[in-house]
Amino acid sequence: MTFREFLGVLGARWRIIAVSLLAVVAAAAVQTMLTPAVYSSSSKIYLRATQPASASNNNQVATYAVQASDLATYLEVLTSPSVMEPLRDRLGLAPGTPINVSGEVSQTSPMMTITATGGDPELLARIASESGPVLAEVATKKFSPLLAANGQSVEATTITPANVPGEPTSPNAKRNLALGALLGLALGIGLALLRHTLDTKVRTEDDIKALSDRPILGDIPMVKSVKSGLLSLETDPHGRHAESIRRLRTNILFVDVTTAGHSFVVTSSVPGEGKTTTTVNLAMAMADAGSKVLLIDGDLRNPSVASTMGLDGSFGLTTLLLGQADPEDVVQRWRETTLHVLPAGPVPPNPSELLGSEPMEVLFGKLSHDYDFILVDSPPVVPVIDAVLINKLTHGLIMVVGAERTKKRDLASAVQSLETVDAPVAGFALNMVSSGSSTAHRYGYYGYNRDADAKPSRRERRSQAKHHA
């Protein structure tokens, strides 16, 4: 995965990252609030051994530095009951009251730092201040027999007095929230990458590009409301869906320049990707551009063009293949436009044989001379072979892919099947794109954005004329 692809995954899965980040930070904040505050107060003392005045030549008390071995002993007994009980008595605490103190001795001088921790700041300052003198008294009586035998004693001189702490040492709110944010971000990124790895559906153009090098001819937004019908070119000609169909029409015309066949079969990998709706609207857009267009319902298994457009589907392509009528008898003109529709007709028991038959080839050749452009709605590629048979008659195949519906394995299987029989995809149309996706923003789906050099369609000119009248 390249760095650009990595950023694309993060952008596509930003909600997972945001939720993970907020969840972990919230958990860290709650844990911080529920954790009792712990304060600490420290004092530094200087320990020395004193000698009585009678033992000195000048009748003054002499002092000596405590040896390192004695300091190690004092550090060991600091937390013992021998020191804690006298300390409780001096502080006026009840017997058995917990006192948490610790000590650290200097490596270069007879100094000791005593630290008291707990939940009462004032009491901690008193404990840190009194621990040194109490330790010195106990050390003289119990743990320095040589000094006691010589009439010497241990004294503790305060170098740095203990202060009442103003802020707790734990929990550290800033540190906990910062660690929570880092952990949440890492967790979110990990989940986003895992979701991307386990994601089985096609969601963006990049998913299609990973399976085929054929061009993406257009992105068609999701139509959330079908109250006015599926024919957006008729019901909402200035809407986002209609505009995307016009863009698809323009790009297909560029592909048609390379094929010079003026006929395409429109299919999908599996059912439910919106190929029929896309094909019907595309045919209407082709007719709006001034071409004489024929839309053929080549799905002889599950025909739906006639029902989508509100036409009579009791006769059509199968009627012609059986020789029961001529094209001019069954081809229906769509209102007052240059779009003509050939429904599928009665559903036959052998659709594949009919589509691959010689009569079908002869019929398609005749229709190609009568119309400027032909679009054929075909069954999906994965279940049946019908699209391949129709593609032999046309000059290109357009694959409609349903965003967040089509599974990657189905699309890969369809592309592989077509390439195996030397029927490559001319281009893809990503259908049902969410309006909030980056693709939608790139194609300007948030407002009507007609190409500057595009001319109004015939239907639009008639609508404008009626409006001005």
pLDDT digit string, tens, across residues 375-409: 999 999 998 999 999 999 998 999 999 998 899 99
Per-residue pLDDT, 461: 46
Measured CA distances, 220 to 12, 15, 400, 442 (Å): 18, 23, 10, 12
* Of the listed ranges 51-60, 86-95, 214-223, 343-352, the one predicted with least confidence: 51-60
How many other C-beta atoms lie within 10 A of the C-beta of residue 439? 19
Q: Is the pLDDT of residue 54 over 70?
A: no
* Of the listed ranges 50-54, 105-109, 202-206, the one predicted with least confidence: 50-54
Per-residue pLDDT, 259: 63
DSSP 283-324: HHHHHHTT--EEEEE--SSS--HHHHHT---SSSHHHHHTTS
CA nearest neighbour of 265 among 433, 424, 432, 382 = 424
* Whether 418 contacts 424, CB under 8 Å: yes
List, for residues 178-211, the tens digit of each pLDDT value: 999 999 999 999 998 888 788 788 888 888 998 8
- Residue for token digits 């000119």? 461
What average pLDDT does the segment 24-32 reach? 93
In single-letter form, the type of residue at position 320 comes to: L
Interstrand relation of 153-160 and 39-51 (parallel, antiparallel or unpaired): antiparallel
Per-residue pLDDT, 210: 86
Measured CA distances, 321 to 358, 364, 365, 382 (Å): 9, 10, 13, 25
What average pLDDT does the segment 219-247 reach? 82
Confidence of residue 437 (pLDDT cuts 50, 70, 90): low
Per-residue pLDDT, 145: 64
Q: Is the pLDDT of residue 436 over 60?
A: no
Burial 59-77 (b: 16+ CB within 10 A, else e): eeeeeeebeeebbeebbeb
* Of the listed ranges 81-95, 152-166, 417-431, 451-465, the one predicted with least confidence: 451-465
- 0.75 cut: is pTM over it? no
Q: Is the pLDDT of residue 448 over 50?
A: no
List, for residues 69-104, the tens digit of each pLDDT value: 778 888 888 999 989 999 999 999 998 889 999 999
Per-residue pLDDT, 449: 34
Who has greater pLDDT, 366 or 440?
366
Q: Is the pLDDT of residue 59 over 80?
A: no
Phi, psi dihedral angles at 50 (to 5 degrees): -105, 150
Measured CA distances, 153 to 187, 200, 287 (Å): 60, 81, 112
At residue 435's C-alpha, the angle toward residues 250 and 429, to 5°, is: 35
% of the chain exceeding 90 in pLDDT: 57
* Whether 229 contacts 235, CB under 8 Å: yes
What average pLDDT does the segment 231-247 reach? 90
Per-residue pLDDT, 141: 76
% of the chain exceeding 70 in pLDDT: 86
Q: Is the pLDDT of residue 454 over 80?
A: no
Confidence of residue 314 (pLDDT cuts 50, 70, 90): very high
Per-residue pLDDT, 446: 33
CA nearest neighbour of 365 among 400, 343, 392 = 392
DSSP-assigned beta bridge partners for residue 100: 117
DSSP 85-123: HHHHHHHTPPTT---EEEEEE-SSSSEEEEEEEES-HHH
Rank 5-14, 219-228, 422-431, 442-451 by mean pLDDT and report only the highest.
422-431
**Tokens at residue 198, please?**
């386990």
Average pLDDT, rounded, for the chain: 85
Who has greater pLDDT, 218 or 64?
218
CA nearest neighbour of 150 among 236, 82, 64, 23 = 64
Per-residue pLDDT, 467: 35
Phi-psi region of 70 (alpha: psi -120 to 50; beta: other; left: phi over 0): alpha
Who has greater pLDDT, 452 or 215?
215
